[in-house]
Amino acid sequence: MSLFRKIRRHAAVARGDFGAMFRDVEIPPLPAAISRLLAEVNHPEPDIERLAKLISSSPGLAAKVIKTVNSALYGLRVPVDNVKRAVTLLGLEQVRTLALSFATMEALPTPETELFNHTTFWTDSLLRATMARSLAEKDYREQREQIFTVSLLADLAIPVLLDSWSDYYLPVFAEWQSAEGSLASIEREHFQWDHGQAGAWILQSWGFPDDLVCCLACHTLNRDEMEESGLGGSPVVPVAVASMIPSVVNAKLEDILSFCHAVQRWLGLERQDLVEILDDVRLSLTDVLDIFDLPDNSATYVVEMLSEVAEQSADPEVS
Amino acid sequence: MNNHRVRYPQQSFLYRLVAFFSRLQLSYLLRNSRHQRLLQLLFIFVAGATALGIISILAFMTNLPLLFPQLGPSAFILFYTPMSEQASPRNVLLSHLLAVGIGLLSLWLCAQLFPDVHLTDSPVLNWQREVVVASSMGLACLLMVVFRCVHPPAAASALIAALGYLESPAHVLGIAAAVVLLLLEALFFNRLVGGLPYPTWRFDPKVARNFGELAGIPANEITFWRQAAMKTFASRGS
């Protein structure tokens, strides 16, 4: 590597200049069909007929849409076998979430390192997204689907950084896996930026609205930093709380307790509310994971652990 | 996992050296300092003074006609709103060349139509000169919009040419050379000193939208979420 190129790379990392960092990297674009689909969904008067055609042009997505509507989540007596009917039943917000989730899973690279597991990554992401959506039920009902989307994409920079900037990022990722503390805090120590900001830049380059970009960038902030940024009562909060759920392969009791405390302190929910939310998450998670062909045992185990801790502390006799 | 060989390029001496200097660049400081206004003022003062200073020294040393009034407003735009479309090298270069061309063409056409009229004597103002000035101005404005290369100071280039101040081909080449020099200085200051992704040719709206006032976007037009999104890329170092 030439000295000039080395200096340029160092400068981009040191300044957190994601524009320069990702300029020579192939950030996977959203597939054209998905971009057109999102444009149609975001249209003030979306045409369901056209939407169905766009979904049908992506066989993988069409299958996911039909699988979703036929899942236990919807409890239909007669299975649906055509995309247009599925779109009508699902609603536009659900279609958008599904399209984005599917597109991101397809587009993101799978880094060639044993430290990164594709299945675990997406299981964690879907668990956190499902949890964020349920946590948003009370105070952010209108933004539930956006919160699901942001939470699902919260860590999207990790595979990109591991794939394209592995010489800088892999040691940091390895350090996080073998040490205490959050990934964001270790990243900040090394680079003065974190994967939330890098992910937000990717989301911005995909043309996502500013509020979602901001939510993603800020999900790694602590409560004080969030208040300082004026985002205390914003949809960032449920995303940030859900991101505290430990990974399904490394769930520790102290992390689970931190999450439960955050639910109480950040969102003002009681332990009993959390128990109910966890019941809701457990019900929908199996279907959500099934839609994306991911195994549900490890995620269900984490939810059960969470429920156990929440129930114990919700029980007045125990507390 | 323990077998994994841990290497930290970010712990090398070169990285620390580069980090130290690159964190002194304007774009980094603007994102992370509380004295943004002061930094911007300092940058525009130093860059503007140095850019025009260098051109003046070159003009003095080479005896070439490189100093023209329109370089002032051009330099102001290049260093005050470097990420705006008006400051892109494409707009600056094409607009000045187009404007000079239109001014000279109008003057030449008028000279062909009215061979006995004084068109270049500065004290003399007749209706023919007024037509030349007005038509050059109108055409320059029109064509800048048509060819999407708007750069307001270039209108002065049309005026200077139409008024007959460019007396020889050396003056015309002088304007072109001065504009190219100014652009090279803008590239140096905005990219190297400023650390800004200043375009090498064409403006990129997707990049520019993150730079607010530096892209010429008035503060009151920036929404809460846009402002928050711009702030989210600030350094999070301890």
Structure tokens that stand for B188 in this block: 């140096």
Task: Say if residue B221's pLDDT is above 90.
Answer: no
Of B5 and A215, which is predicted with more confidence? A215
In a domain, B206, yes or no: yes
**Cβ proximity of A238 and A147 under 8 Å:** yes
B15 touches chain A (CB under 8 A): yes
| CA–CA dist A310, B27 (Å, integer) | 46
Give me the pLDDT at residue A319, please: 44
Nearest CA in chain A to B209: A204
B199 touches chain A (CB under 8 A): no
C-alpha pair distances (Å), A306 with each of A95, A122, A299, B173:
29, 19, 11, 75
**Cβ proximity of A303 and A281 under 8 Å:** yes
User: Residue A1 — very low, low, confident or very high, per pLDDT cuts 50/70/90?
Assistant: low
Structural domain count, chain B: 1
B33-85 pLDDT, tens digit each: 889 899 999 999 999 999 999 999 999 999 999 999 999 999 999 999 999 99
In a domain, B16, yes or no: no
Expressed as residue numbers, the domain containing B63 is: 35-218
Chain B residues lying within 8 Å of A211, measured CB to CB: 225
- Average pLDDT score over residue span A48-76: 79
A175-187 pLDDT, tens digit each: 998 888 889 999 9
DSSP B98: H
DSSP B64: -
State the sign of the Cα–Cα–Cα–Cα dihedral B142, B148, B153, B157. Answer: negative
**Mean residue pLDDT across chain A:** 85
In a domain, B43, yes or no: yes
Tell me, what amino acid is at A122? W
Give me the pLDDT at residue A30, please: 58
Chain B residues lying within 8 Å of A11, measured CB to CB: 18-19, 21-22, 195
Structure tokens that stand for A246 in this block: 């430990």
ipTM: 0.78
**Mean residue pLDDT across chain B:** 90
A165 touches chain B (CB under 8 A): no
Task: Tally the residues of chain B.
Answer: 238
Kindly give the interhelix angle for B36-62 and B169-187, rounded to the nearest 10 degrees.
Answer: 150
Chain B residues lying within 8 Å of A181, measured CB to CB: none
**Cβ proximity of B142 and B102 under 8 Å:** no
Chain A residues lying within 8 Å of B28, measured CB to CB: 15
Task: Tally the residues of chain A.
Answer: 319
In a domain, B105, yes or no: yes
Structure tokens that stand for B196 in this block: 């800004």
- Average pLDDT score over residue span A74-80: 79
**Cβ proximity of B43 and B194 under 8 Å:** yes
Report the C-alpha dihedral over residues A15, A16, A21, A26, rounded to 10 degrees: -170
Give me the pLDDT at residue B158, please: 94
A197 touches chain B (CB under 8 A): yes
In a domain, B15, yes or no: no
Contact: A200, B229; criterion CB under 8 Å: yes
| CA–CA dist B156, B70 (Å, integer) | 6
In a domain, B6, yes or no: no
SS3 A20: helix
Q: CB within 8 A of A141, min separation 6: which ones? A: none
Structure tokens that stand for B125 in this block: 């103002």
A232-284 pLDDT, tens digit each: 888 999 999 999 999 988 888 888 898 998 998 888 888 888 889 999 898 88
Task: Say if residue B238's pLDDT is above 70.
Answer: no
* Burial of A2 per CB tally in 10 Å (0-12, 13-18, 19+): exposed
In a domain, B69, yes or no: yes
Contact: A177, B197; criterion CB under 8 Å: no
SS3 B114: coil
What whole-number percentage of chain A has pLDDT above 70? Answer: 93
In a domain, B29, yes or no: no
